[in-house]
Amino acid sequence: MTLADPPTERLSVRLRTGTRPDHDAAQGSGFLDRLAAGSLPRAAYADLATQHFAIYETLEQAAGAMAGDPVAGRFVFPELTRLPALAADLDYLNAGTTEPLPATEEYRRRLREVAFTQPWGFVAHHYTRYLGDLSGGQYLGPAIAKAYGLDGAGHQFFVFDGVKPPAFRTRYRELLDEASFSPEDETLFLAEVTEAYRLNIAVLAELKERWS
Ligand code: HEM
């Protein structure tokens, strides 16, 4: 194969393979596993929910803006919406006045730049959050609930009513493979997923710093 040949692997496969190092850096950032082990105070978990609230508020506004777009709109699923669950979790956790971190504000700035108008930008950020929530999040949620004695309330963020995660992930990958990105936009999409991981890692690093 030469550089001029079109790629033969499906986009979902190239995406997953190409961003595995980014994923592993996010997974290994040292905050989420400490939460899962219960070795941080419960307020640290509430702080994560606060950062998530700020991020999903902007991401889900972008979903509203992109719902009618022929490419991005296919990824807008009302049943994924996380903001009401996060609001309920924060209410239950009595999260107090924790503010969005600088890295969270940077993440929101990037979302405003690319996710409200660019299908590649929206899908990149949508994939990185929601497919992560429907993958590792399905292990993390129960571990955190157990570690902090949460029984039903307080961890609704991890619970997707009406969604079967394995089937949903399969359908989502099909949607990625069917997405009609131009070659230029596909390159931008792949780069933006790496950027989305970087932004998530930065938030986790600041959380780790605040709670270590
Ligand atoms: C303790 C932390 C984490 C654990 C244990 C974890 C675990 C996993 C596992 C086991 C999968 C594969 C599931 C499957 O193939 O069926 C996965 C996929 C994924 N994770 Fe994570 N993860 C973590 C953190 C993160 C973070 C912080 C993000 C981004 C914000 C993320 C984003 C993703 C995405 C987008 C996928 C889907 C990859 C694909 O199939 O295309 N993960 N994760």
Q: Whose CA is nearest to atom 14 of ligand 1?
A: 135
What are the structural domain ranges in the chain? 11-211
Please tell me the predicted confidence (pLDDT) of residue 130: 98
What single string gives the DSSP state of each residue in the chain?
A: --TTSPP-S-HHHHHHHHTHHHHHHHHTSSSHHHHHHT-S-HHHHHHHHHHHHHHHHHHHHHHHHHTT-TTGGGG--GGG--HHHHHHHHHHHT-TTPPPPHHHHHHHHHHHHHTTT-HHHHHHHHIIIIIHHTTTHHHHHHHHHHHTT--STT-GGG--TT--HHHHHHHHHHHHHH----HHHHHHHHHHHHHHHHHHHHHHHHHHHHH-
Please tell me the predicted confidence (pLDDT) of residue 116: 98
* Cα 64 to middle of ligand 1, angstroms: 25
* Cα 139 to middle of ligand 1, angstroms: 10
Per-residue pLDDT of the chain (212 residues; tens, 9 = 90+): 556 666 789 999 999 999 999 999 999 999 999 999 999 999 999 999 999 999 999 999 999 999 999 999 999 999 999 999 999 999 999 876 678 999 999 999 999 999 999 999 999 999 999 999 999 999 999 999 999 999 889 999 999 999 999 999 999 999 999 999 999 999 999 999 999 999 999 999 999 999 98
Please tell me the predicted confidence (pLDDT) of residue 2: 59
Please tell me the predicted confidence (pLDDT) of residue 98: 75
pTM of the model: 0.95
CATH of region 11-211, choose from 3.40.50.2300, 1.10.1660.10, 3.30.300.30, 1.20.910.10 = 1.20.910.10
Q: Whose CA is nearest to atom 36 of ligand 1?
A: 132
Q: Whose CA is nearest to atom 42 of ligand 1?
A: 132
Please tell me the predicted confidence (pLDDT) of residue 6: 67
Residues within 6 Å of ligand 1 by CB? 15-16, 23, 26-27, 32-33, 127-129, 131-132, 135-136, 139-140, 197, 200
